Chains A and B, each alone.
Chain A
Amino acid sequence: MQALLAVSRLIDRMNEHIGRAVYWLVLAAVLLSAGNAIVRKIFSVSSNAYLEAQWYLFSAVFLLCAGYTLLRNEHVRIDILVGKLSARAQAWVDIFGTVLFLLPMATLIMWLSWPYFVRAYTQNEISGSAGGLTIWPARLLLPVGFALLVLQGVSELIKRVAFVTGRGPDPIVRHDPAEAERALAEEIRKIAEGKV
């Protein structure tokens, strides 16, 4: 079990780093998109490459952050029933869900999207629109993103099994939904008091 928990910690650290690196692409996409609109208006130059690069960037964000988001337990749940259960019962729900829902689904998509990437790569496909980008880097995001998701699923599974067998701490990141709001409220209060 200790070896497995070490693996889990390794996966967690990896997805944490990937998530923190990849979120910069949000800013890149914002600036690229705004820049493209301005340049197109003022200098009348535009290329489909810019339009495509925007969704390449965003695809990188949501696919590569899928594992990171799972690590932070931010994939939204309907927890009107489960929220009332004990921590142990919630861990069991997650074990059940990971084994029966997450892992099969993510593995299947990873499996199917690999040949989809390989085809684009070997034939060096280029997007159909004028000035379009090479397709395979974006296709590669699919199997990679879902692989990261599978790995994170395995890590979450290990942590929960360790918990229900009494060999680890309660791993569920509980969002006190009020917490983020409290932080925001605190900052706004500071702004307001600085002024009023």
Chain B
Amino acid sequence: MDFIAQNMAPIMFAGLVVFLLLGYPVAFALAANGIFFGLLGIQLGLLEPSLFQALPERLWGVMSNDTLLAVPFFTFMGLILERSGMAEDLLDTIGQFFGPVRGGLAFAVIFVGALLAATTGVVAASVISMGLISLPIMLRYGYDRRFATGVIAASGTLAQIIPPSLVLIIMADQLGRSVGDMYAGAFIPGIALAGLYAVYAGGVALFKPRWSPALPLEARRLREPSGSSGTPSVFVVVVLATIAAVLFDRFYYVPHYPDAALDERLVLAAGAGGGFALASAIVNKVFKLGLLSRLAEQVVFVLIPPLALIFLVLGTIFLGWATPTEGGAMGATGALVMALARGRLSLRLTRQAMDATAKLSTFVVFILVGARVFSLSFYGVNGHVWVEHLLTSLPGGQLGFLIVVNILIFLLAFFLDFFELSFIVVPLIGPVADKLGIDLIWFGVLLGVNMQTSFMHPPFGFALFYLRSVAPAHEYMDKLTGKRMAPVTTGQIYWGAIPFVIIQVIMVGLLIAFPQMSLVYKSDQPTIDIDKVKIEIPADEPARAGEQEDLMKQLGQPPAAPDKGAEEPKKSPEEEQQDDLMKQLQKK
């Protein structure tokens, strides 16, 4: 008995592993573990008999957590979007645009993958669309099978790391940081990762030209009647739109709103440029001016829906018009409107999406409920102290800790999905990271990039699995050329993923070496964070970005309406955020 009392935390942790491996639903196994060891602890006199009285309050904290609302919102948005046909249009047209260069289809897949990732965060949809639309074309024109499947699987997983992704939202929630900061911190690493994929694709095109040939002339459908490609016209539109954006910013927005923050200006200027491009494409089409090539017109038309969605979701967040949660709801509403406009929204689809969303968010929140019951007892027996001791005694300080934790997550990701990792493992290692002086946004993004690999590593990676379900498994006849085509083997899909898993590991290393990639979130903190803080403490007046005086007043006083579900531990991160912010402002 004494032995148990002394080593309660490790025993409880070992118990957790056993409970989980039994294969009963994770949520209930977690909660039962917490209750079982809680009772044992009470018996041994380690815990107060009133321990479980705190349970309802903890559950209330889960219920009143606004951030979690983003889970159903983004899930619902993704489910509507994946059947709206947007991804298919994009792949088709962007493939035509990039196709004529060597490796072009691979670039198109990466580009569209990143674009879809920025609208919503669902891996399955991107991979399936690409597997159905791009893969057959790649195979038809002789792409290497490993390279083609690898680039598709990897580009699909970009949804995990490019904002707005559920991983980042949950990571922010578990680490007690604001979602806006997490988004800002993930932006450069996300783009850099897509860039690394593109560099790899470029290297393949250069050194292994036979792996990724250019589209032959007859496959370029959007050529001009005269036979020219129409590509220069696309560049003309891009240049003109950029000029329009700069002019709007210089001569309209800045003179009118001199204190506008940089990201506000960027978002609005991008909107102006996009609007200009759309207007010119419409005018060209309606009046049959023929000033733009068919290709340019088509490129503009397919890019507008995803860009509009990105504006609805991310634009409104960065402008401070909406909280990240509301951004999800705006995106979901936008996706509904778009599906309706395309005539793809049916009662059946809506019901299917709501049904799937309800079940997914229920199991996700229940894992969190289980984790809260578990942590009540685990913290009660000082489990966090044990974990902290275990991890701080690692050699190498910060770096040693980061390396060990990343290897651990990499290995665990073979068995656990990211919800389980975020709710069970992250709360244990987060405080230790904080204590070691590691910036938690950087840390969260790092773990996000790392967990992204779990979608890609053979044999369990979900992206590979989705791709397998749509890649031709038997010999088939190509509809266009009438040639017999060999099937794509599972081995090819697995081997194809390996280079991208390696790129992923390189990215984790780069991010450890260059934390600045994430830490830039601090440079524009006053805009993003002000909104966040103001909206989280619902004031009577809606928040207005950039008015620092107002904020100082607010911070000087205790928050107007602290609320947020009685005495929830959520408060301390909020306070920390404000402290952070104060420091930032003082530096200015």
Contacts and interface: CB of A to CB of B under 8 A. Distances in A.
A50 B560 CA distance: 17
Interface string A40-61: 1100101010011011001101
A44 B56 contact: no
A62 B83 contact: no
B326 A30 contact: no
Interface in B66-89: 66, 68-69, 72-73, 76, 82-83, 85, 87-89
Contacts of A65: 358-359, 362
A100 B32 contact: yes
Contacts of B316: 37
Interface residues of A, number: 85
Interface in A82-103: 82-83, 90, 93-94, 96-97, 100-102
Given A24-B354, A105-B32, A76 B419 contact: yes
B367 interface: yes
B361 A62 contact: yes
B52 interface: yes
Contacts of A81: 21, 23
A130 B540 contact: yes
A37 B321 contact: yes
A127 B60 CA distance: 12
B29 to A, nearest CB: 6
A177 to B, nearest CB: 7
A129 B332 contact: no
B22 interface: yes
Contacts of A79: 23
Interface string A175-196: 0011011101101110110011
Interface string B43-54: 000000000110
Contacts of A157: none
B515 interface: no
Contacts of A20: 355
Contacts, number: 254
B416 A78 contact: yes
B561 interface: yes
A164 B57 CA distance: 39
Given A54-B69, A78-B416, A196-B92, A112 B55 contact: yes
A107 B538 CA distance: 36
Contact of A181 (B325, B416, B466): B466
Contacts of B344: 191
B295 interface: no
A75 B89 contact: no
A93 B89 CA distance: 47
Main SS at interface, chain A: helix
Contacts of A90: 23
B137 to A, nearest CB: 9
B565 to A, nearest CB: 8
A46 B538 CA distance: 9
A27 interface: yes
B563 A102 contact: no
A191 B417 contact: no
A75 B366 contact: yes
Interface string A17-43: 001101110110111111011101100
A55 B62 CA distance: 10
A58 B361 CA distance: 9
A30 B333 contact: yes
Contact of A191 (B27, B60, B85, B469): B85
Interface residues of B, number: 90
A130 B23 CA distance: 46
A61 B416 contact: no
A69 interface: yes
A97 B22 contact: yes
Given A102-B32, A128-B563, A182-B469, A112 B540 contact: no
B28 A54 contact: no
Contacts of B466: 181
A75 B368 CA distance: 12
Interface in A66-83: 66, 68-70, 72, 74-83
Of A30, A44, A79, most buried by chain B (CB within 10 Å of CB) is A30
Contacts of A108: 35, 52, 55
Determine which residue in B85, B323, B362 has the highest number of CB atoms from chain A within 10 A of its CB, and name it: B362
Contacts of A129: 538, 561, 563
Contacts of B321: 37, 41
A191 B88 contact: yes
Interface in A143-191: 177-178, 180-182, 184-185, 187-189, 191
A109 interface: yes
Contact of A29 (B69, B355, B366): B69
Interface stretch (B101-109, B124-132, B246-254, B386-394): B124-132
A33 B321 CA distance: 12
Contacts of B361: 26, 58, 61-62
Given A24-B354, A34-B326, A188-B82, A101 B28 contact: yes
A77 B24 contact: yes
A142 interface: yes
A44 B72 CA distance: 26
A129 B563 CA distance: 6
A30 B76 contact: yes
Given A102-B32, A188-B82, A192-B132, A138 B63 contact: yes
B28 A97 contact: yes
Given A76-B417, A97-B28, A188-B83, 12 more contacts: A26-B358, A26-B361, A34-B326, A37-B329, A70-B25, A75-B362, A78-B20, A102-B32, A105-B32, A177-B465, A187-B83, A188-B132
27 contacts: A22-B358, A27-B354, A29-B69, A29-B329, A44-B541, A46-B540, A48-B538, A48-B563, A55-B66, A58-B68, A59-B63, A61-B361, A62-B361, A66-B366, A74-B363, A75-B27, A77-B25, A78-B21, A78-B416, A97-B24, A97-B28, A116-B56, A129-B561, A184-B82, A185-B132, A185-B470, A191-B88
